[in-house]
Amino acid sequence: FIVYSFEYFLGGQMFPIDIMPNAVQAVMKWLPFYYELFCPIAIFLGRLSGAQLVQALGIQMGWLLLTWAAARFMWKRGLGHYQAVGG
């Protein structure tokens, strides 16, 4: 519930991120929640283009690689502790 609340607020589902102060927008654009809903809609509506589009896709790729690396690390660590019992 807590994570969903952050996603709902920071992803632009509650209200558009465009109406927030510039400082808040700058911080939100570095968080992954922005790229779940608001960024794809902004691309579709043509609000992001050129350098902004490249930057947005780069940040999305960064979050993708970061979460992939974290999942891979946890998977490998979990395999070291895994013990199967039975058939």
* Within a domain: 67: yes
Residue 73 counted as domain residue: yes
More confident position, 50 or 13 = 50
87 falls within a domain:
no
For the entire predicted model, the pTM comes to: 0.76
Q: Is residue 48 part of a domain?
A: yes
pLDDT band at 87 (very low <50, low <70, confident <90, very high): low
Kindly report, residue by residue over 30-68, the tens digit of the pLDDT. 988 888 888 888 889 998 889 999 999 999 999 999 999
What dihedral do alpha carbons 41, 36, 7, 49 form, nearest 10°?
A: -50
Task: Look up tokens 């993708």; give the residue.
Answer: 64
Is 36 contained in some domain?
yes
The range of the structural domain enclosing residue 56 comes to 2-81
86 in a structural domain: no
Query: Into how many domains does the chain fold?
Result: 1
